[in-house]
Chain A
Amino acid sequence: MTELLSSDEFRAALEDAMTGREAKDASFSRAWAEGRLERKHFARWAENHYHYVGPFADYLAYIYANTPDSATDAKDFLLQNMWEEEISDVRHTDLLIQFAEVCGTTREAVEDPSNITAVTRGLQSWCYAVAMREHFVVATAALVVGLESQVPSIYRKQLPPLVDPDVYGFTEEETEFFDLHITSDEIHGERGYQIVLKYADTPELQQRCIDITRDGADMRFAYTKALYDTYVAPDLGAWESQPVAV
């Protein structure tokens, strides 16, 4: 890429980079939305998910430290995002653990890093590596645009069956983790886009943001697919062999 894209072109390119690899379309997400999972599968999901999202404020803190003082709005966005994850109200990971416990696992099992797949470990490591080593705008593209901005589209499909008494039958309180992130990550995602659109101010930086957004989407897709392959396929069979939902 040799020319700077306009804001609209750049946003479209970032969105395109995720097309076809969104985690909402991975096998585990689809089985979830179609009502095929059991509580034990959600328990395994929570044990893995904790180790991906639990350190989110840590990832953001590395980006914060790499962000120049002149980019005050970007620093403030990162700080606010960290604050919301950790201390704005109930700690978000506590809401995740609350859901996990209803699904039959324990806080100790959730916090135990030996209970995760190798792919989850890879996702967590990738998040740390990108946050520590990349230019702040590239890291923001990876973690906020490529990963966090997908959350509303995933949970808006997954929450309705969770609280449907005829599907999974959880209560509103038990599923607050999902409801909270549907709305808050709309705003985080949008602010993330704005930071990336503003500070990726060379063709080279724009291209790096597009590429890493694609990598982030690939990472989240692989993580979600691995949950199905590891925990659900032994019960239901390979996803490819599943009847197509109507």
Chain B
Amino acid sequence: MSPPISGPGSHNRWPSDLPRIRFETSDREIEFEDGQDVNLLRLSIRHDCGLPWKCASGLCGTDRILIVEGAEHLSEPRRRERERLGELLDDGVRLACQTYASGSVTVVWDPTQRGIDEDSAAGKRLKAQWLAPEPDGEESR
């Protein structure tokens, strides 16, 4: 017997043919309309599926997920995601905030995970920007 689906307006009913994202770590499944593509982090936030996140911009890596099934339904990695994840991409890891799904996908994550590190290119740029003295009379913008 298949587990009941949880999602908008679909509590406690049997699985339909609609595509769905399975957030395995929090044991949630969310259906979406056929023909749509959905941002994985947005879906998790909207339906309280518990995926950790921070920046929503592909910078911190807090929302990294391992794709268990359905990688073929995901959008191509964007530039920030490629930069942020590097070889983790080859291991099946994606950033939920940067990834759209157009079909059924199953993902897992470590519920205690935090950002990848502070030594990324973006982290170094930020440190340089914050720690640099402002030239007199010059605006930072």
Contacts and interface: CB of A to CB of B under 8 A. Distances in A.
Interface residues of B, number: 24
B8 A183 contact: no
28 contacts: A8-B8, A87-B126, A88-B122, A89-B57, A89-B59, A89-B122, A89-B125, A89-B126, A90-B125, A179-B79, A180-B57, A180-B58, A183-B39, A183-B56, A183-B57, A183-B58, A183-B97, A184-B56, A186-B42, A186-B97, A187-B39, A187-B42, A187-B45, A187-B56, A188-B56, A189-B42, A191-B45, A193-B46
Contacts of B79: 172-173, 176, 179
Nearest to A179: B78
Contacts of B56: 84, 183-184, 186-188
Best-surrounded residue of B8, B57, B141 (most CB of chain A within 10 A)? B57
Nearest to B46: A190
Contact of A194 (B45, B53, B98): B45
Interface in B82-106: 97-98
Nearest to B97: A183
B45 to A, nearest CB: 5
Interface of A: prevailing SS: helix
A88 B62 CA distance: 15
The B interface, classified by DSSP as helix, strand, loop or mixed, is helix
Given A88-B126, A89-B57, A184-B97, 7 more contacts: A89-B122, A172-B79, A176-B79, A179-B78, A180-B80, A188-B56, A190-B42
A113 to B, nearest CB: 14
Q: How large is the interface on A (under 10, 10 to 19, 20 to 34, 35 or more residues)?
A: 20 to 34
Interface in A69-99: 84, 87-91, 93
Contacts of A173: 79
Interface string B61-83: 00000000000000000111000
Contacts of B130: 87
A186 B39 contact: yes
Nearest to B53: A187
Interface in A40-76: none
A91 B129 CA distance: 11
